[in-house]
Homo-oligomer: A and B are copies of this chain.
Amino acid sequence: MIGVGINGYGTIGRRVAYGVSVQDDMYISGIVKNTPDYVAKEASRHFNIFVPSEEKIEEFKKSGINVKGTVEDLCKNSDIMVDGTPEGMGEKNLSLYKKFNVRAILEGGEKHSTVDGSFNAYSDFDQMKNKKYVRVVSCNTTALARSLFPIFDNYEISSVNATILRRATDPNDSKKGPINAIEPTMQYPSHHAPDLKTIIPNINIKTTAVKIPTTLMHVHIIDAELPGNVNTEDIKKIWKKYNRLLLINSNEGFKSTAQIMDMAKERSRNRADLYEIAIWKDSININNGILHYLQAVHQESDVIPENIDAIRSMFNIEDKEESIRKTDDSLKIKGGEF
């Protein structure tokens, strides 16, 4: 059993903690929480709580939360740390993990150059085997890899152009915006294009990113240039083989991200999450060799299965197909046609 410590119990950290806790080959050795808020209180019912430094112990005690030690203690008692701290902090924490000679996973907000490699289960599970420090790419990059890698693996894609409509902030945030505005990123390609190349090196992709006032999901508008003889049925047939893609139809009521997340609630999964990337089947078309499609991404949860598979790859305890199957079964991931 692999002991997994979670450093940072935010949107991703808490979901990785849940995901790990339902596997049969790993367990949560503890979680590090910075503030004794309601999230810490709820977490303390399930997990051992650690804090970033000695000074914090008193603050947590005052709030009635029992603390088992500091992040250093957790490093000593874990086989691997998953770093869910805010963007940029993971790189700093890496020296701590190295000091305690504990493996670590950083999340998509960190730089590729700081780690031994970047991870996506479909595109490079085997390449990350036995590595000590691995980064799971961001929610958007994961989503791009999920739908593009299966095509890339079958056909020569000469180029991809993607527009990424990003949710402004996560649902539990009432501070960040934009509340009532559209905020385009001037950088072209946006960081998503080079990020995708860390897990699919030879893909030729350009991306544009725009923040919009919503919290539920991201939406991607994707155009990919394919060989002339490929048709939409070929593409659907390939996608159906990949369990982390869910093909939905707008005329079944999926008019927007609101209904997609509503469907996720109906599926009664932990936190009403949707691990699969939802692709609108009726958006798929090919014109003059350009495949066009729309997909929706639940930014809070799509990277969770990847974190679990990354652990199995880094310890080389399971092969790719079996790891993905175990993860999907335990999280009730069920793609294919809705």
Q: Which residues of A are interface residues toward B (Cβ below 8 A)?
A: 14, 35-39, 41-43, 63, 171-175, 180, 216, 248, 252-259, 261-263, 265-268, 270-272, 338
- A338 near B41: Cβ-Cβ < 8 Å: yes
Q: Hey, which chain B residues are within 8 Å of A42, CB to CB? A: 263, 266-267
Chain B residue, CB-CB nearest to A214 = B174
- A35 near B262: Cβ-Cβ < 8 Å: no
Chain B residue, CB-CB nearest to A265 = B271
Chain B residue, CB-CB nearest to A172 = B262
Q: Hey, which chain B residues are within 8 Å of A258, CB to CB? A: 171-174
Q: Hey, which chain B residues are within 8 Å of A262, CB to CB? A: 39, 171-172
- A38 near B271: Cβ-Cβ < 8 Å: no
Identify A265's interface contact among B267, B272, B338, CB under 8 A: B272
Q: Hey, which chain B residues are within 8 Å of A256, CB to CB? A: 174
Q: Hey, which chain B residues are within 8 Å of A36, CB to CB? A: 252
What is the distance, in angstroms, from A170's C-beta to the closest C-beta of chain B?
9
- B253 near A35: Cβ-Cβ < 8 Å: yes
- A259 near B180: Cβ-Cβ < 8 Å: no
Identify A174's interface contact among B43, B172, B259, CB under 8 A: B259
Q: Hey, which chain B residues are within 8 Å of A267, CB to CB? A: 42
What is the distance, in angstroms, from A306's C-beta to the closest C-beta of chain B?
21
Q: How far is the CA of A3 from the CA of B106 in the complex (A)?
A: 52
Are A254 and B38 also in contact (CB < 8 A) when A171-B262, A271-B268 are? yes
Q: Please give me the 6 A-B residue pairs with the lowest Cβ-Cβ distance, nearest first.
A: A37-B253, A172-B262, A174-B256, A42-B266, A174-B258, A265-B271
Chain B residue, CB-CB nearest to A300 = B265
Q: How far is the CA of A252 from the CA of B265 in the complex (A)?
A: 26
The contact sample of 12 A-B pairs, CB cut-off 8 A, is A35-B253, A37-B253, A38-B253, A39-B263, A39-B266, A42-B266, A171-B261, A172-B265, A174-B258, A175-B255, A180-B180, A271-B272
Q: Hey, which chain B residues are within 8 Å of A252, CB to CB? A: 36-38, 41, 63
